[in-house]
């Protein structure tokens, strides 16, 4: 039997087509990406989170001379929120990047490890996290539920058997 996986997402030509709140989150991510600590890749990523109490938290990727020690902007954000505001739910995450040596005008999506980390956050609060993906300019992809990006996921339920 063949089965199919599909999900719906929103595509916008420009941030001007989004709500003022989401537009502002993306603009903050676009700017914050310029301040990432990326001496090795020179590829700055930023994640900006909107919490349910209206607070906004910003993060960037943090690299290390021992390359695997580096951490993606999305997981820096999730760890910061979970440490500083452990009981406050994350509603939305805007992700953007700055790549002075190359292309940065198309959306990027979180890496596999960050999708797993997003899943943990969602299962903890039982609510979806909305993602806003974009480069320094141009189109925006809006994913209503970050778990749409991680089919066949592994979670605590599997550990319990
Ligand atoms: N990176 C992120 O911060 N988020 C992603 O979703 C993909 C990749 C970082 C890791 C590394 O510092 C740089 O981008 C190049 O891979």
- 63 CB under 6 A from ligand 1? yes
User: What's the rounded Cα separation, in Å, for the pair 142 and 39?
Assistant: 30
Question: Hey, where are the domains in the chain?
Answer: 10-156
Query: Does residue 72 contact residue 114 with C-beta atoms inside 8 Å?
Result: yes
The residues near 44 (Cβ < 8 Å, ≥ 6 apart) are 33, 34, 35, 36, 38, 60, 61, 97, 98, 99
Distance from Cα 54 to the centre of ligand 1, integer Å: 26
Among 103, 105, 102, 114, CA closest to 143: 114
Select the CATH number that applies to the domain covering 10-156 from these four: 3.40.140.10, 1.10.10.10, 3.30.450.20, 1.10.150.120.
3.40.140.10
pLDDT of 113 = 98
**pTM of the predicted structure, to 2 decimals:** 0.96
- pLDDT confidence bin for 63, thresholds 50/70/90: very high
Active site residues: 74
Q: How far is the CA of 81 from the centre of ligand 1 (A)?
A: 19
Measured in whole angstroms, the distance separating CA 73 from the mean position of its chain's CA atoms is 8
Q: What is the pLDDT of residues 107-122, one digit of tens each?
A: 999 999 999 999 999 9
Q: Which residue owns the Cα nearest ligand 1 atom 14?
A: 43
Predicted confidence (pLDDT) per residue in 123-156, tens digit: 999 999 999 999 999 999 999 999 999 999 999 8
């Amino acid at each position: 039997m063949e089965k199919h996986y599909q999900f719906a997402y929103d595509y916008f030509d420009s941030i001007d087509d989004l709500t003022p709140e989401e537009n502002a989150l993306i603009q903050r991510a676009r700017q914050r990406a310029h301040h990432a600590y990326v001496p090795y890749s020179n590829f700055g990523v930023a994640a900006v989170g909107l919490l349910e109490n209206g607070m906004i938290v910003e993060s960037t990727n943090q690299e290390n001379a021992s390359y695997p020690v580096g951490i993606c902007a999305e997981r820096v954000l999730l760890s910061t929120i979970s440490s500083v505001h452990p009981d406050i739910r994350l509603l939305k995450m805007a992700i953007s990047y700055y790549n002075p040596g190359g292309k940065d005008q198309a959306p990027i999506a979180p890496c596999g490890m960050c999708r797993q980390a997003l899943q943990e956050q969602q299962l903890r609060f039982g609510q979806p996290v909305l993602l806003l993906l974009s480069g320094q300019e141009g189109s925006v992809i809006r994913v209503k539920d970050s778990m749409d990006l991680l089919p066949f996921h592994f979670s605590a339920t599997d550990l319990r058997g």
